[in-house]
A and B are shown apart, each in its own frame.
Chain A
Amino acid sequence: MTETALDWQRLHDLRPADFEAAGNRWHAVSSRAGADALRVGQAMSAQLRETQRGDAATAALRRLRRLHRNLDYVRTECGLVRTTLNGLAADLAEPQRQLRLALDEAAELGFTVHPDGSITYPASTVHTLLGPQDTPAGQAAPRAALPLDLPHSSLDSSLRPLNPHADRAQALADRIARAVRAAAEVDARYTRTLNGLRAAKGLDITAATLRDVRRDTADVRHAASAYLAADVPFDATPAERKAWWDALTDEQRQEFLRIAPDLVGNLDGIPAAARDQANRAYLPTLIEELAGRHDDASQTKLEALRLLQARLNQPGGLPMYLLGIGDEGNGRAIVAYGNPDTSRNVAAYVPGLGTALDADFVEDTMVRAEDTAIGARDVDPSSAAIIWLGYDAPQSADVMSTGDAERGAPAYSRFISGLVATNEKSDPHVTAIGHSYGSLTVGTAARQTNGIPGVDDVVLLGSPGVGVDRAEDLGVGREHVFVGAAENDPVTRLPTKEEFALAGPAAFIYGDVYDRGDDDIYFGKDPASAAFGAHRFKVDPGPAPVLEMGGFDAHSQYFTPSLDSESASNIARVVGGRPGKITLEDRR
């Protein structure tokens, strides 16, 4: 070992708290720069109001802008240094702990640990069948390799018994060596990260500078990932997560939101504003990742995310909250129109057949939630509506099964629990909306023992069946179940699986299987039927699939006022808390 390499004594003497203390200073500088940047921003905006400035003033203004960017740069990078130091301190703690445990054991056994990591053990007496035998003292040399890579201690070829201390000493020497090696690995990893955090020279902030900052953020996120993720309550309930988030200091929250937004952005139970901030911060990272992959699925999601980003940045319209974003499966996106935490009425809509994170999702599916929010706010201004794509919906009618709904239902329930946990009203009015296959997802969640905790009303639109035969099995009481089914919506008339198998998909729409006159459909009782017993509200019949070449159009217009104002109004009435005002339709 060289003079300056890490050895066990140096590891033993390390005080990780020294790194944290230095980190606090970096944080103070970062924080101060952030506050100063705000002040410069305010100073600049006053100047911008003036129209006639002249050259000197224009030049001064340019320098103010540069100063503003510099302060932002300080705030971000010094914050990264602080997180790096905290991560380093945290990651060194475990090897140090392992070392101390080993040293304590050695001391208890009366072994001597030498500076080079070897361990001497005393002589011992072994009781054998031939009587007590003396075994001499010895020394175990450290081996840093992992246990499985090491040969078993070789048997002494002579018949003399081994000193029982030998194996224990060897094990301890190995543990000490491994602890040192682990600490050295941590040190090397963080040294690499620190090397990237040097300030650029001068006062310029260029596009290259900003790229460096993004790369540094990703680096630190990666290097300090164990530290950052350590306290995040992934396995807790939404209510517990809310309590955890509330108990964090503002700077702890900022650390997550700036450096590891992906850890908290999708956590049900984190307040909407924080999730929104986290996911908006994470969105460019996700876009960049997808841009680097060239398969079709990634490109589709990439297109969707770019469109989504543009929409989020568009001024005007209802306030949007990005509550979730991800590229797993067919993609994940949860978008609220209106603030779900401050609204008295909150609806969460589960889309169905054919939905995935693609351009259509942003340009069409999301708009349905927006329309619902606008309509509901006419009924009660304190309303918000959410599109929840938190599962993989089936992509075609041919391959529909209950599996996707069964996988999506628990996630949806957890999401609703999160809404309830973070909503600031004492008793928010929550509506679950399931459209198409999404109604089966909602139904699957709702038919569980306690229903979907927190949901007051259920709206089922264009449903192929919800997995139960009666409205009262959905956990809210049949008075609180509302169904919209357009006469010409083929999805609401899908035959049962048996009939489907006989007739085939094309035949059922275009052939005489279409109108069968019974109320059993693909996933159970038709929710629009008298037997199911829900409220059925009026919707436009929609264009006939064959005669008017409407195809599946009647399936897709429930939310859209310009295409089906009756349906959109009725949905709004339920969501906005005025179900008594819906216009009723005879059940089938």
Chain B
Amino acid sequence: MGQQAVHHHSGSPSVPLLQHSRGPWTSASATAAELHTSTANGRNTLRPAHDPLTAWVGLTAPAALLTVLTSWEERLAAIRDECDHLSGALRQVAVHLGEVDTATGTSLKAVPVPTSAGTATR
């Protein structure tokens, strides 16, 4: 697998996004990080759409809807935060299983270099 380019995601240097040669755990970690963002964004779009409804008097549905909204904002927040934590945990697993070199962030699988210790990757 040729080159590995390492791009550090701006704002979170501890989670490098590898463009090539990603092992499955590293890849999952990146996915979780992306879901953290997309969940946060989706969650934030909900409440503004309900503003016109707060002016409605006389119906009980809007109030019920706002309660539903609040509950889902909480759930989505929990999912958002879980994605963030999970991204870190998955990256730990990637390191632990030898997918990633913590110092350089490069994928160890892509560069088989024999060392004096006999391990195939560096």
Contacts and interface: CB of A to CB of B under 8 A. Distances in A.
Interface stretch (B5-13, B50-58, B114-122): B50-58
B92 A39 contact: no
Contact of A197 (B32, B35, B68): B68
A63 B35 contact: no
B28 to A, nearest CB: 4
A56 B93 contact: yes
B28 A19 contact: no
Interface string B20-54: 00001101100110110011001101100110110
A291 interface: no
A203 B61 contact: no
Contact of A60 (B27, B45, B90): B90
Interface string A8-23: 0011001100110110
Interface in B80-99: 82-83, 86, 89-90, 92-93, 96-97
Contact of A64 (B28, B59, B72, B97): B28
Nearest to A18: B52
Contacts of B86: 60, 63-64, 67
Given A21-B49, A203-B78, A4 B39 contact: no
Interface string B59-76: 111001101100110111
B79 interface: yes
B96 A39 contact: no
A195 B64 contact: yes
A19 B76 CA distance: 21
Given A43-B24, A46-B28, A70-B79, A7 B52 contact: no
B33 to A, nearest CB: 12
A187 B60 contact: yes
Contacts of A195: 64, 67-68
Contacts of B82: 63, 67, 70, 203
Contacts of B50: 22
A81 B52 CA distance: 17
Interface string A33-57: 1001001100110110110011011
Interface stretch (A24-32, A129-137, A170-178, A334-342): A24-32
Contact of B43 (A29, A56, A200): A29
Interface in A188-210: 188, 190-191, 194-195, 197-203
A71 interface: yes
Given A29-B46, A194-B61, A50 B24 contact: yes
B59 A6 contact: yes
Nearest to A189: B61
Contact of A28 (B28, B45, B78): B45
Contact of A191 (B31, B60, B76, B79): B60
A7 B56 CA distance: 12
A77 B27 CA distance: 28
A85 interface: yes
A60 B83 CA distance: 11
A77 B71 CA distance: 12
A151 B67 CA distance: 43
Task: Among B31, B57, B64, find the residue whose CB has the most chain A CB atoms closer than 10 A.
Answer: B64
B58 to A, nearest CB: 4
Interface in A204-253: none
B25 A47 contact: yes
A63 B89 contact: yes
A74 interface: yes
A486 to B, nearest CB: 60
Contacts of A28: 42, 45
A14 B62 CA distance: 12
A4 B58 contact: yes
Contact of A40 (B35, B42, B78): B35
B75 to A, nearest CB: 4
A248 to B, nearest CB: 24
Given A43-B31, A64-B28, A67-B82, A190 B58 contact: no
Nearest to A63: B86
A32 B74 contact: no
A547 interface: no
B49 A81 contact: no
A194 to B, nearest CB: 4
A24 B45 CA distance: 11
Contact of A54 (B31, B89, B90, B96): B96
A78 interface: yes
A19 B46 contact: no
B28 A201 contact: no
A78 B25 CA distance: 30
A84 to B, nearest CB: 9
Given A40-B35, A46-B24, A25 B45 contact: yes
B67 to A, nearest CB: 6
Given A22-B53, A54-B96, A43 B28 contact: yes
B66 to A, nearest CB: 10
B36 to A, nearest CB: 10
A213 B93 CA distance: 33
A198 B31 CA distance: 27
Given A26-B46, A29-B45, A190 B27 contact: no
Contacts of A159: none
A191 B45 contact: no
Contact of B61 (A4, A32, A50, A190): A190
A405 interface: no
Contacts of B24: 43, 46-47, 49-50
Contacts of A22: 49-50, 52-53, 65
Task: Among B34, B45, B59, B65, find the residue whose CB has the most chain A CB atoms closer than 10 A.
Answer: B59
B65 A85 contact: yes
B35 to A, nearest CB: 5
Given A29-B45, A67-B82, A194-B67, 6 more contacts: A19-B53, A21-B49, A43-B28, A64-B86, A191-B61, A198-B72
22 contacts: A6-B59, A28-B42, A29-B43, A32-B42, A43-B27, A46-B27, A46-B28, A49-B24, A56-B92, A56-B96, A64-B32, A64-B90, A67-B35, A74-B79, A77-B72, A81-B72, A187-B61, A197-B68, A199-B68, A199-B72, A201-B71, A203-B82
